[in-house]
Structure 1
Amino acid sequence: MSKPKVNIFWFRRDLRLEDNTGLNVALKSDRPVLPIFIFDSNILDDLDDKHDARITFIHDQLTAINKQLHSKKSAVKVYRGDPKKIWTELTETFDIGEVFTNRDYEPYARSRDKAIYEFLNAKNIPFNTYKDHVIFEKKEVVKEDGSPYVVFTPYSKVWKKRLQEHPFHIASSIMGYDNFHQLTADVPTLEALGFKRSTIEIPPNDLDEALISKYGETRDYPAINGTSRLGVHLRFGTVSIRKVAQMAMAKNETFLNELIWREFYQMILFHFPKVVDNNFRSKYDHVEWRNNEEEFEAWCQGKTGYPIVDAGMRELNTTGHMHNRVRMIVASFLTKHLLIDWRWGEAYFAKKLLDFELASNNGGWQWAAGTGTDAQPYFRIFNPESQTKKFDPELQYIKKWVPEFQELSYPKPIVDHKFARERCLDTFKQALGA
């Protein structure tokens, strides 16, 4: 029996049918397109929480895509396992002409894709990859000598200049195409994938014009609804970065700059993959972190005795989200007040954040610790009390997450601010030989 002739589109971090670069190209090809998604066991097996909200979110997005594809008498074929084994199975089941997918810049994804490329190449099957997750990638925004920028401001200026010279294109809806492989398939249940449904609520991927217009004025105040909450949607590609950037360009440059920061960190990770496990600035390798496990646990649970820090950690533990201003405060507190290695905090955020994005998480933590690109200098140490007075003056955010903060049951501060500040300065100076 002859195998069905198909081209394959591989969904990864682009879970949408709208303005999806690789999918649009695939649908213009000469064979029916079979969309697939692989729940990668190399990633899933490292997840501790069987109720991980991100898995529920991906599952729901695939189910929604399937409903849309039913009108085309098609579906997403969903697999769970090691990608190399899945691709072996696919080549045995189908006569594959070409494979289409969108690029991912994380080290694991790059090594996985290299292995799949080599496997398919040996079978004379082209593996076509496209830019979709960012506006500019790789060496599209670099210095005149071709080296990458490691400071944000000049990078952002060139990014904006390049955008004027090379405006992006938003693809038309794929629903106008009929070039799908005819298929009836349901997404496997969460239980079949080894997970259970999370009760954590995911914010909608609404592009709120009014909110984005006021973003510069509201984004630093955690008690108000002043941020877009689009992080999880950008992370999994359930919203097009081009559509978000289009609105930012029209409505608010501060918001656009945040999108550029995201791309800056993506390209730092691409050009300097060592940052995953190492300080970007190696001169900080000699910092003697205290790494007190009891203090780390108190930080994780939101029991440090510093209400703004504890509010942030409790918001994270409960919702999978933490306000961006508060992320900076809690990261500074862990690395500078407690002198706990930024990698500990980064790993905790990676477990808990719905919008966990390796590049931005790593960049943000190294910024806070003073070890990264464009870092917060080690001698600038956030004072939780003054941050509270400035950004939560009526204590609304704190009262929501730490209602007992004025009661005797609330823990005493884990460390005195003045003492912690001096200890941090001495530790970093010693490391730098100052």
Structure 2
Amino acid sequence: MTASIAWFRQDLRLSDQAAVAAATHEGPWIGVYVLDDDAAGAWATGGAQRWWLHHSLTALGETIRERGGRLVLRRGDAVAEVRAVADAIGAKTVHAIRHYEPWWQAAEEALAKHLDLRIYEGGRLAAPEGVLTGSHTRYRVFTPFWRALKEQMPPSTPHPAPSAFTAPHVAIEGDKLSDWDLLPTKPNWAKGFDIWTPGEVGAREALADFLPKIEDYDHDRNMPAIDGTSRLSPHLHFGEVSPAYVWHRAAKHSRAKAEPWLREVAWRDFAANVIDILPDYGRRNGREAYDHFRWRTGSAADRDFDAWTQGRTGYPIVDAGMRELWATGVMHNRVRMIAASFLIKHLLIDWRRGERWFWDTLVDADYGNNAVNWQWVAGTGIDSNPFGRIMAPLVQSRKFDAGDYIREWVPELRGLEGDAIHDPHEAGCAPDDYPEPLIGHREARERALAAAGK
């Protein structure tokens, strides 16, 4: 019986994995994962993602072996390496989940010229090109996209993982995962990443932990000091759990009260839709009017950018978020918006510099989500906040009761009580080792509006 290949990318699971199911039904198969940094260019897997990838591949490989299969790891050009494995085992067919990143779409097109590439949906709730307006065009605004997507829900019922696999009896070489040096060592900046459990089991555990909180999600997601978010975003990014699985579990738990969270899951679909329409969205403004915007550059802007990355802006809510990001590979969603807005509108630094930093430091960095989120905050996107809507960090910090969150991540401020924690300099009680604000909010707002010609 001829063997086939299951080509893994950002779909590192066995349950509700159509490519694995098809390969298993067909007969013997080999799983292949290729670390291809060149194809993605500037969006090669970032540092924090590499840590996650190491552990996710470890978990996937062990599970496949336990069920009688094999996962082959290769490094290099994805198309060339998949073809090489196919030649080695005599495979003519490759099964894969469809991806929407431009480099993966190019790889799929190239591979299909040489092998029988069978592409399956499974990375999103629905194929974005199937979510259309009444005039059969693609959506460029999320809210009507969401309404149309809901009409197609629920997604197909998730199918369980095959209980056993058959691997072809062919000797084939693969890389050792440890040789890829995905884990940081000198220094080991990932010590705080032990809050995560990468892999399919970890994804399901995270969902199970979150479901009891889902009814309060609409409120708690905005409160940095409350553990009210799902922490599923990296698991979804790496495909360790399918969107269909989380949809069905959440809807079963509480369909009506789950909708605010399911809307956030659908945002991933919208982001895939955007990069499918505009593949260069990660580097190009969605609104051409901003192509000539005068972002700050030069040494002063560089110093401000460095202070932002280090959590030394003098705004406690911003600094807490940036330090949480560095320590854990994630930042609370509300604080992500505040920190991004601060960089763009208080410091007038190009959103693309922030996107690059998040790409390297977030465990859940996703090409579509990153680009759409940054452009939404910047006001440059096809669906975005107006540039003139400038978040006030101090107001946001008080409004969403971020005091304990700040105390956790900005230890030099832990001794402050009450509202002083939000603006210690104004309260006259900032410790000597906490920096002055890089710029005052009123001054920053006036400068930003002037730059935008408002």
Deviation of 1:264 after TM superposition, in Å, equals: 0.7
Cα distance in 2, alignment partners of residues 268 and 45 from structure 1: 20
Question: Counterparts of 2:388 and 2:42 in 1: how far apart (Å)?
Answer: 36
Q: Displacement, 1:269?
A: 0.8
In structure 2, do the counterparts of structure 1 residues 43 and 215 end up closer, same or farther at CA, with 3 Å as the change threshold? farther
Deviation readout 1:393-419 (Å, 9 max, x if unpaired) = 5x1011111122431221111001101
Aligned-pair Cα RMSD in Å: 2.3
Aligned position for 2:416: none
What is the aligned counterpart of 2:55 among 60, 63, 73?
A: 60
How many positions carry a matched residue from both structures?
A: 416
Q: Distance in 1 between matches of 2:45 and 2:151?
A: 44
Question: Could you say which residue in structure 2 is the equivalent of 1:219?
Answer: 221
Q: Deviations over 1:370-404 (max 9, x none)?
A: 111331111110001100101125x1011111122
Q: CA deviation at 1:221?
A: 0.8
Q: Is 2:148 aligned against 1:161?
A: no
| Contact 1:23/1:100 (8 A) holds in 2 | yes
- SS of match in other structure, 1:277: coil
Equivalent residue runs for 1:297-312 within 5 Å: 297-312=306-321
Which of 34, 39, 46 aligns to 2:35? It is 39
2:187 is matched with which residue? Answer: none
Change (3 A) 1:391 1:183: farther
Cα shift readout 1:272-323 (whole Å, capped 9, x = no counterpart): 1131211111122221111311111111111111110111111111111000
Is the CA contact 1:6–1:94 (under 8 Å) kept in the aligned structure 2? yes
Pick from 9, 22, 26: which aligns with 2:6? 9
Distance 1:8 1:397 in 2: 47
Aligned-partner SS, 2:10? coil
Deviation per CA, 1:311-345: give whole Å up to 9, x if none: 11111111110000000000100100111000000
Q: Deviation per CA, 1:97-124, whole angstroms, max 9, x where unpaired?
A: 3110001101111112222222x1xxxx
Cα distance, 1:60–1:115 mapped onto 2, change above 3 Å: same
Q: CA shift at 1:60, angstroms?
A: 2.3
Q: Which residue of 2 aligns with 1:86?
A: 81
Could you tell me how far apart the structure 1 residues matched to 2:139 and 2:43 are?
A: 34
Q: What are structure 1's unaligned runs of at least 5 residues?
A: none
Please state which structure has a larger fraction of its residues in helix: 2
Please state if 1:283 is matched with 2:283: no
| Equivalent residue in structure 2 for 1:412, among 414, 436, 444 | 436
TM-score under structure 1 length normalisation? 0.90
Greater shift, 190-199 or 261-270, is seen at: 190-199
Q: Partner amino acid for 1:426?
A: A
Identical columns (%): 35
Aligned mates of 1:194, 1:427 — CA distance in 2: 44
Matches of 2:45 and 2:245, distance apart in 1: 33
CA contact (8 A) 2:68 2:165 kept: no
Letter in 2 for 1:140: G
Question: Partner of 1:195 in structure 2?
Answer: 182
Q: Indicate the larger mover: 230-239 or 403-412.
A: 403-412
C-alpha separation in 1, matches of 2:342 and 2:64: 48
Q: What's the counterpart of residue 396 of structure 2? A: 387
Supply the AA of the counterpart residue of 1:283.
Answer: A
How far residue 427 of structure 1 moved from its aligned partner, in angstroms, is 1.0
Residue segments in structure 2 that go unaligned for 5+ positions in a row: 185-189, 414-429
Distance in 2, Cα, partners of 1:184 & 1:20:
26
Contact 2:15–2:160 (CA under 8 A) maintained in structure 1: yes
Q: 2 CA distance for matches of 1:263 and 1:45?
A: 23
| Deviation for aligned residue 1:55 | 2.4
- CA deviation after TM superposition for structure 1 residue 253, in Å: 0.6
Per the TM alignment, residue 184 of structure 1 is displaced from its structure 2 partner at its CA by 8.6
Q: CA deviation at 1:182?
A: 4.9
Q: Does 1:367 align with 2:376?
A: yes
Cα–Cα, structure 1 residues 126 and 282, in superposed 2: closer, same or farther, change >3 Å? same
Q: Output aligned runs, 1:14-413, within 5 Å.
A: 14-29=11-26, 31-42=27-38, 52-118=47-113, 120=114, 125-163=115-153, 167-175=155-163, 177-182=164-169, 188-196=175-183, 198-199=190-191, 200-201=193-194, 202-203=196-197, 204-205=202-203, 206-207=206-207, 208-250=210-252, 251=254, 252-291=258-297, 292-393=301-402, 395-405=403-413, 406-413=430-437
Closer, same or farther in 2 for the Cα pair 1:214/1:59, shift >3 Å?
same
